[in-house]
Structure 1
Amino acid sequence: MGLLIDGKWQDRWYDTKSTGGHFKRTEAQFRNWITPDGTEFPAESDRYHLYVSYACPWAHRTLIFRALKGLTNHIDVSVVHPDMLDKGWELNPDYPGATGDRLYKKPLLSDIYVKAQHDVTTRVTVPVLWDKARKTIVSNESSEIIRMFNSAFDGLTGNTLDFWPEILRDEIEEVNARIYDTFNNGVYKSGFATSQSAYDEAVTALFDTMDWLEDRLSHRRYLMGDRLTEADWRLFPTLVRFDPVYHLHFKCNRNRLVDFPNLWAYTRELYQMPGIAQTVNFDHIVRHYHYSHESINPHRIVPINPEINWAEPHGRERMMAA
């Protein structure tokens, strides 16, 4: 993954030498907000466009909320090619499921960043929420995009499902913080570590959190009890990628997801909810990680992977809230 410096592309990976082998993620650069009555970014149908990768768990969050909140007919999508090589994410339609750039026919996602700001210095990441009216990026921070989707368009869609209820926000934030640091980002800190100590630290924290989640879900149907929240949908993209990718490719191999009875059943329940399976593309997921990360897999061999039955009954209906 490269970056733009003053609007010019640089094929440059994260510098782990300066961090003792630790992978340090950079923060998103574009942090604007859509609001129901916004003067700059109002909630309007067919005004906004998502650039996503099916492989990326952060982009996956936005596709999930787009489906859950009835926004599929209001916010259209361009899907990048699963291979991320020396030019970064490519808007190349020559792969099943990739669409190319449906707005401007640009070849690279970096072109979209430069279109928003010609001299931008930033990592070129997905998701990107684009404003077609102002021809600029609203946000490339997934955690904030899903909160916009959660409520900003309710007056337009009539969909009032609330995955960030005020009464649970403090607990959601606490759970999100641990899951993000040690699990969502923990798989990357394990896989991209370039020292044994950095890997040991990250992978130990990761499986401590999986053990904690397994216990929490032994007496709760969802992370907050009997109510689905943002916390569940932020966790799900990492869980659904765990056995196909992170267990092998990122050396997160103390256990598989299927070895955790509660976590595995919980993940299947979320996967089987209406509209969610359509946001998951295992071909893009497996192809992207193994083909794009030359430092981990220099020969770019894509494994066959075990067969996983995502349609297996989950049985979580019996679970009572704590």
Structure 2
Amino acid sequence: MDLARETSDTGRFVRQPNWFTTRIEEGGEHPPEPGRYRIYASYACPWAHRSLIVRELLGLQDVVGVTIVDPIRDERGWRIPGGDPVTGAEFLSELYLATDPGFEGRYTVPCVWDAKAGVLVTNDYPQITLTLETAFAPWHAEGAPDLYPVALRAEIDELNDRIFHGLNNGVYRAGFATSQEAYEEAVTDVFDTLGALERRLADRPYLHGDALTESDVRLYPTLARFDAVYHSHFKCSVRRLTDHPALWAYARRLYAIPAFRDTTDFDHIKRHYFVTQRNINPTGIVPRGPEIDWTAP
């Protein structure tokens, strides 16, 4: 995993921008339609995990297709086991280059393919879940949660921004830092953010009160990977998730919901990080443990 393009002169990890950012929206070039779009995702990737959770929570399984890539990525990018049933591609990179032959960045998941237009529409992961929650609202299952209620959107957006910078991306800034200063800065942000979330969840079941929202979807994938990967692999070892009583109870509360539990694959998660990221783990050895009971009350 060559991160030279995403490492600053001071050793800080600077994530590449999303390359394809066209919106799926009514009246646009790519309007929402059942059966037209397919998400390419990995159970290992936290950004893709969000899309899988939302798709199931909203009952969009028969509206928006999914292709799951192999958790082990090499220089050719994400492999599609058995070939993609829609495009025939063997690697996700083929879809990137078919859409933009000049693309030179990392081939990332999640991304969305428009089968009618024959192009990748977006790999803008923050927007993909919002699109499922808004543009695809006419196809939501009866009784599906409103994850992005209009009255809370400003509050949700503000908290999402803090969660992203301090925690979702903060663990990567710590893990991929190449200087002590950059690491210290990032790991401090990680545990300051965890502390703030611990206090927030002390008196409420979810981040914005009694109902699930987009903020919970964005936080959960990082929590699910924290003790299994980030604590050791990314050197976020000040405390574990299980050392935060409110956050640990909250994480198990989410895991008990089928859309969260059924899209959480700890085998894919551990094999991806420890085998793929040889810049951090040169031997590629996947550690045993930790032994954590996510089904505990």
Q: TM-score band (shorter)? A: over 0.9
Match for residue 95 of structure 2? 112
Match for residue 11 of structure 2? 21
User: SS of the residue aligned with 1:28?
Assistant: coil
Specify which of 98, 103, 127 is matched with residue 110 of structure 2: 127
Match for residue 60 of structure 2? 71
User: SS of the residue aligned with 2:113?
Assistant: strand
Match for residue 43 of structure 2? 54
The whole-number CA distance in structure 1 between the counterparts of 2:226 and 2:38 is: 28
Superposed CA offset, 1:48-104 (max 9, x none) = 1111111000000100110011111122211111111222212234xxxxxx42222
Residue 196 (structure 2) pairs with residue 212 (structure 1): yes
Aligned pair count reads 296
- On the 8 A contact 2:42/2:109 being kept in 1, the answer is yes
Residue 188 (structure 2) pairs with residue 195 (structure 1): no
Superposed CA offset, 1:139-158 (max 9, x none) = 10111010110022222345
Map residues 251-290 of structure 1 onto 2, 5 A cutoff.
Answer: 251-290=235-274
The whole-number CA distance in structure 2 between the counterparts of 1:40 and 1:92 is: 31
Match for residue 306 of structure 1? 290
The whole-number CA distance in structure 2 between the counterparts of 1:303 and 1:114 is: 35
Letter in 1 for 2:47: W
The whole-number CA distance in structure 2 between the counterparts of 1:230 and 1:17 is: 30
User: SS of the residue aligned with 1:232?
Assistant: helix
- On the 8 A contact 1:182/1:209 being kept in 2, the answer is yes
The alpha carbon displacement at 1:276 in A equals: 2.0
Say which is worse superposed, 245-254 or 146-155, in terms of deviation.
Answer: 146-155
The alpha carbon displacement at 1:17 in A equals: 5.6
The percentage of counterpart residues that share the same residue type is 47
The alpha carbon displacement at 1:121 in A equals: 3.9
**Considering only aligned residues, what root-mean-square deviation do their CA atoms show, in Å?**
1.5
Superposed CA offset, 1:258-280 (max 9, x none) = 11110001001111113221111
Match for residue 317 of structure 1? none
Unmatched 5+ residue regions in structure 2?
A: none
CA gap 1:247/1:169 in 2 versus in 1, 3 angstroms: same
Letter in 2 for 1:104: T
- On the 8 A contact 1:151/1:162 being kept in 2, the answer is no
Say which is worse superposed, 204-213 or 168-177, in terms of deviation.
Answer: 168-177
The alpha carbon displacement at 1:295 in A equals: 1.0
User: SS of the residue aligned with 1:217?
Assistant: helix
The whole-number CA distance in structure 2 between the counterparts of 1:172 and 1:275 is: 20
Superposed CA offset, 1:193-221 (max 9, x none) = 01111101100110011111111100122
Map residues 229-240 of structure 1 onto 2, 5 A cutoff.
Answer: 229-240=213-224
The whole-number CA distance in structure 2 between the counterparts of 1:42 and 1:17 is: 37
Unmatched 5+ residue regions in structure 1?
A: 2-11, 94-99, 314-322
- On the 8 A contact 2:60/2:139 being kept in 1, the answer is no
User: SS of the residue aligned with 2:80?
Assistant: coil
Match for residue 153 of structure 1? 136
The alpha carbon displacement at 1:111 in A equals: 0.5
**TM-score relative to the length of structure 1:** 0.88
CA gap 1:16/1:121 in 2 versus in 1, 3 angstroms: closer
The whole-number CA distance in structure 2 between the counterparts of 1:16 and 1:71 is: 34
The alpha carbon displacement at 1:107 in A equals: 1.9
Say which is worse superposed, 159-168 or 233-242, in terms of deviation.
Answer: 159-168
- On the 8 A contact 1:14/1:24 being kept in 2, the answer is no
- On the 8 A contact 1:270/1:276 being kept in 2, the answer is yes
Say which is worse superposed, 121-130 or 59-68, in terms of deviation.
Answer: 121-130
The alpha carbon displacement at 1:18 in A equals: 3.5
Superposed CA offset, 1:122-173 (max 9, x none) = 4310001111000111210111010110022222345463211121112111
- On the 8 A contact 1:57/1:238 being kept in 2, the answer is yes
Letter in 2 for 1:124: Y
